[in-house]
Amino acid sequence: MADNNTDVNRQLKVLKRILSATDEQMHDNAFLIENIKEYGITPLAWLQELDNTTTYTENGMIQVPGEFAQFIKCLVDIEVESAIEVGVYRGRSSYFICAVLYRNNPRLRYDMVDIADSLDEYERFREILPCLNKCIPNTSDDLIGKEYDFVFIDADHGYEGAMRDYLNVGRYAKKLVCFHDIYAHEYDSCDGGIVRCWEEVCVLTEHLPKMVFSQFPDRWMGIGVVLNDDNHKAIGADNDYEDIQDKSKQFMKDIEGLDTVYVYGARNDSRRMYDALERIGIDNISLVINDDSENPENVTKYPIAKLENIEEDATVVVCYRDSLVETAMIPLRQYDKINVIIADEKIASFI
Ligand SMILES: C[S@@+](CC[C@H](N)C(=O)[O-])C[C@H]1O[C@@H](n2cnc3c(N)ncnc32)[C@H](O)[C@@H]1O
């Protein structure tokens, strides 16, 4: 209890410092890192080995100080009126993020959602952050379609759970949606985990800018952010995910029973489709080109056939962007016995 009190007092002191910091300080890496390290980080053996200058405490944030500081810096100038964190645990990241947002907008409301109440000293933190709003027990299922400016997802790290949080509230975010643990491969066994979720969200939101804060890319933690722009009311179109699921199911039906498939062209999207077909167990796959214009990067790592040499009743998948499909179809139309499947280029990431 004495330790906990020491932690809380120190953390309140840090947050008060953040609340009264100047803009210049809030853009200064050293200021942010020092305060994050003083505030405290949950003891993680791999992090402690690398850095003994941080306060490690069970009452700390589950964060890498360097990447969290960069993330915080990107929030400093954003005006957020409504925020939600899904999965708050002890609330230590929430309090810090909340202080940064509240400093910039006293009208902020910060909803803290979790299935279990592990918060301690919530009331004491709320004294300096009255915008905190404990919504526990709850899940994003209770808030479907609610439009927050800011969404932070750090709850169920399995694929289904993380994607559910994105579909329930993340895609409706008006300004930004953030995912913690985008490189946490320890959840890969949960149907691809949060890593797969982040990759798919990147595909669904390919029209929007992203920021990734990571000290250990593809190894530990990492924070991924999708930013909205002025052209969209929210981050994701309402049924984009469902639409791509339907298209993926149809595609799987179309190729069912085939063991030989050609993918038209050798550009990036065609190669992604080749990799996806390999992943789902198609035995014989080749890229197929009409002439070298369909292999502008001179790719040699994939088997490449010439259209004029393939079997009469071959199946060719065209995985091009909508605007390029017509161009791809011109040479294919000369071979009327070929079975052509036109696939949305996004489905390579979803099958
Ligand atoms: C990794 S911890 C969150 C850490 C916190 N964001 C931080 O940085 O300190 C994950 C939390 O998510 C909660 N959780 C798990 N599944 C959830 C769900 N479906 N909805 C909401 N919270 C969930 C757990 O109870 C746990 O407190």
Mean per-residue pLDDT of the chain: 95
The reply to whether 250-349 shares the fold of 2-227 is: yes
Tell me the sheet residues that pair with 287.
263, 304
| Banded model confidence at residue 2, pLDDT cuts 50, 70, 90 | very low
Q: What is the mean pLDDT of residues 17-32?
A: 97
- Which tokens sit at 87? 């999965």
For the residues 282-293, what does the mean pLDDT come to? 95
Check residues 3 and 111 and name the one with the higher pLDDT. 111
Who contacts 231 (Cβ-Cβ below 8 Å, separation ≥6)? none
Nearest C-alpha neighbor of 221 from the set 83, 19, 38, 41: 41
Ligand 1 probe mutation, 56, 86, 113, 115, most atoms within 8 A of CB: 115
Ligand 1 geometric centre to CA of 118 (Å):
9
What phi and psi values does residue 335 have, to the nearest 5 degrees?
-115, 85
Hey, where are the domains in the chain? 2-227, 250-349
Pocket test for ligand 1, best of 89, 96, 213 (most atoms within 8 A of CB): 89
**Domain spanning 2-227: which CATH class is it, in words?**
alpha beta
Instruction: Please give the full DSSP string across 218-265, using - where no structure is assigned.
Output: TTS--EEEEE--TT-SSSS-TTHHHHHHHHHHHHHHHHTT-SEEEEE-
Is domain 250-349 annotated with CATH 3.40.50.20?
yes
**Residue 213, SS3 per DSSP:** strand
Q: How many angstroms from the chain centroid is the CA of residue 101? A: 21
Alpha-carbon gap, residue 57 to 64, rounded angstroms: 13
- Which residues form ligand 1's pocket by a CB distance below 6 Å? 61-62, 86-89, 92-93, 113-116, 118, 139, 154-156, 161
**pLDDT confidence tier of residue 167, bands split at 50, 70 and 90:** very high
Look at residue 103 in the predicted model and tell me its pLDDT.
Answer: 97
pLDDT at 1: 42
